[in-house]
Structure 1
Amino acid sequence: FLDEIGELPLELQAKLLNVLQDREIKRVGGTKSLPIDVRIISATNLDLQSRVKDRMFREDLYYRLNVIPIHINPLRQRAQDILPLIKYFLHVFNERYNTTKCLSSGVLSCLLHYDWPGNARELRNTIERLVVTSTEDIIILQDLPESISKKQPYRPAFSSDQSSTPLPLGPLRKMVDEFEKEIIMNTLKNHGNLVDTAQELQIDISTLTRKNKKYGLTGYVRTNGKIDST
């Protein structure tokens, strides 16, 4: 696995291209070429096509690597993935550090509403930091880095007097549905229409319409200047 392939220096790009073409390597200090049978998976957050145009990335290497491209949207565009990742990383680091830490509902709300510019890597590091640095078993708002606690693009899903309530245990699918419903409901309340709500949540309007019916939120669409929440 070659991470951050877009930042590979040009001289190393040439060597990698030779390896991919010839399927041979030469050990450091060696004189004989050795055949290899490998599959390469590479990743980057850069626009490689732009790098090719700017002569920062070899075009022949780009096409050699670009056999089966997989585009993964930023985490801020995959809100449904945040909660499962939080639970996974929390489990991993509780196991690693032999702890039983859990998140208060206030902390969980902040994590769900943060835009995660560093994507899953930033989320992973944040959960590890919270597990290591928190002094109590329940991680509270005061344990959060200021960069997260003070940056809330959405209205919190929980009020502040619930901030010490631990993250409830239960079926993951049910928990994801509950938080997804609350996020959609709050955004609908702010906009009152499906078009603006879909744009803010960065999902297709057909997807929003389906989820709107699934969660029974059709009453939150504004009609005649008023929102009917009955």
Structure 2
Amino acid sequence: MSDTDPPLILWGRCRSGRRWFWTANEVGGSDAHGWADTPDEASRQANTATVQLAAGRYANIRVLHGVATSKLRQLNVAKRQSKASKAKTGKVIPPANPIGYLYTVKPGRYDLDDQTWIPGRIVSLPIAKKTAKRIYYLRPRGPFEWEPGYVDRQELERHGSVRAAHWLLLFAEPPEIPKPAAAPDLKALKAAMAAAHPDLGGDDDAFIAAREQYLRAKNCTIKEGLAA
């Protein structure tokens, strides 16, 4: 179509649930669309939009209801994609002034590299909302990400603690963190094992006993570290 040719404008209407959808489209140009309560009102609005698209020019105008069906389908696809994108990338932000907190314990553990004890700590989870049956809270999903969860309010108030999703144990009040048992001194046990070696003046029975004591302590430390 050359610049001197009159524009081609198509308009149409189609049902959209309980309402009527209309569109007016200048081929190769702008378009307009909307919804109306009746088919006649949809036609009137489409005609008005067609005149506005023509903008005082002589135009070829054709009624083609298929353009409305096609346009409505495009809008619905774009709407679904937008919702999916928001659900995928949207971030849950903790409230600036939460109405309270639930508490959980991040357990302590032994560091397997240098055999030091990393103590446990209490983690506070902000409460977003309370209802008669549930308490809604936020739990960390990553360094800067949160996800919503909820617990049974009556069970929490009855027992003071409740098991939530992912077997997370939550408390109504900050719990006491149990103190760890004294970590075995692996260096001392290893030195005692070496000193009991027959080549260094020890005897077989003493070396075997010292070696068993060292291996038991080492295996216990590794299991505690893996379980944490």
- TM class by shorter chain equals under 0.3
Report the structure, 1 or 2, having the larger helix content: 1
| Higher RCO (CA 8 Å, separation ≥ 6 residues) | 1
Report the structure, 1 or 2, having the larger strand content: 2
Q: Provide the TM-score with structure 1 as the length reference.
A: 0.25
